[in-house]
A and B are shown apart, each in its own frame.
Chain A
Amino acid sequence: QSVLTQPPSASGTPGQRVTISCSGSSSNIGTNFLYWYQQLPGTAPKLLISRNNQRPSGVPDRFSGSKSGTSASLAISGLRSEDEADYYCAAWDDSLTGVVFGGGTKLTVL
């Protein structure tokens, strides 16, 4: 059971906009920055969104993040086949004094 809660799956057709939610608590998302990681099949996770809504260099602006209270979301617009991957949210948890991850969301491009 992951500390952060994500839907196990999401899907969309090419060109569509999809969102993935991430829910936590006051000790993690409510207090600290939220991060999103993209894990393409068979590869290591890659930082996708930093500090709630900042895109690292090289990440397309089709990807955006937002946070409100103890929840956050990742939006992907103009969906492309290469976006098919697992997406994880993560944050520091002040009570656990460690990083907590969501259970991951498998995005399928139909």
Chain B
Amino acid sequence: QVTLRESGPALVKPTQTLTLTCTFSGFSLSTSGMCVSWIRQPPGKALEWLARIEWDDDKYYSTSLKTRLTISKDTSKNQVVLTMTNMDPVDTATYYCARGLEGVGGWLDPWGQGTLVTVSS
């Protein structure tokens, strides 16, 4: 059974850097073709894809956010970490991680339960 779980601070101040961790089980990011993506959803709004890291350490970022995002993996811990710099109240959202497959870009299954991050002073 594949599961993912997001963790990180519930509250960050404007201008701070957010660090989120996705801890997963049931698959390995050292397996050919495996990927993990981060997606966010502001309250009452649509899903927005943020970043993806692949088994071979290839990385892809949202063009609108790429200057603020860094994605990395720790294969031994089954974890993927996303950092987002210079946080702003508009970044308030539920942040999800999801398993993906290389070469099948839109396939995201399953998703973690999400973690709500509020940006406020």
Chain A 9-46 interface residues, beta-carbon cutoff 8 Å to B: 32-35, 37, 43-46
- Of B96, B106, B114, which is within 8 A of A99 by CB? B106
**Contact yes or no, A46 B110, CB < 8 A:** yes
When each residue 66-85 of chain A gets 1 if its CB lies under 8 Å from chain B and 0 otherwise, what string results? Answer: 00000000000000000000
B55 within 8 A of A: no
**Contact yes or no, A44 B106, CB < 8 A:** no
B105 within 8 A of A: yes
Number of interface residues of A (CB under 8 A): 28
**Contact yes or no, A45 B96, CB < 8 A:** yes
Contact residues in B for A92 (Cβ distance below 8 Å): 104-106
Return the chain A residue nearest B109 by Cβ. Answer: A47
Range, interface on chain B: 20 to 34
**Contact yes or no, A98 B61, CB < 8 A:** yes
Return the chain A residue nearest B50 by Cβ. Answer: A98
**Contact yes or no, A98 B49, CB < 8 A:** yes
Name 10 A/B residue pairs within 8 A (Cβ), A-sorted: A32-B106, A37-B47, A51-B104, A90-B47, A91-B105, A91-B106, A92-B105, A99-B52, A102-B46, A103-B46
A-binding residues in B (CB < 8 A): 37, 39, 46-49, 52, 60-63, 96, 104-114
B-binding residues in A (CB < 8 A): 2, 32-35, 37, 43-47, 50-51, 56, 88, 90-93, 96-104
Other A-B pairs beyond A50-B109, A101-B39, 16, CB < 8 Å: A33-B105, A44-B96, A45-B47, A46-B111, A51-B107, A88-B47, A92-B104, A92-B106, A96-B63, A97-B63, A98-B49, A99-B37, A99-B105, A100-B49, A101-B46, A101-B49
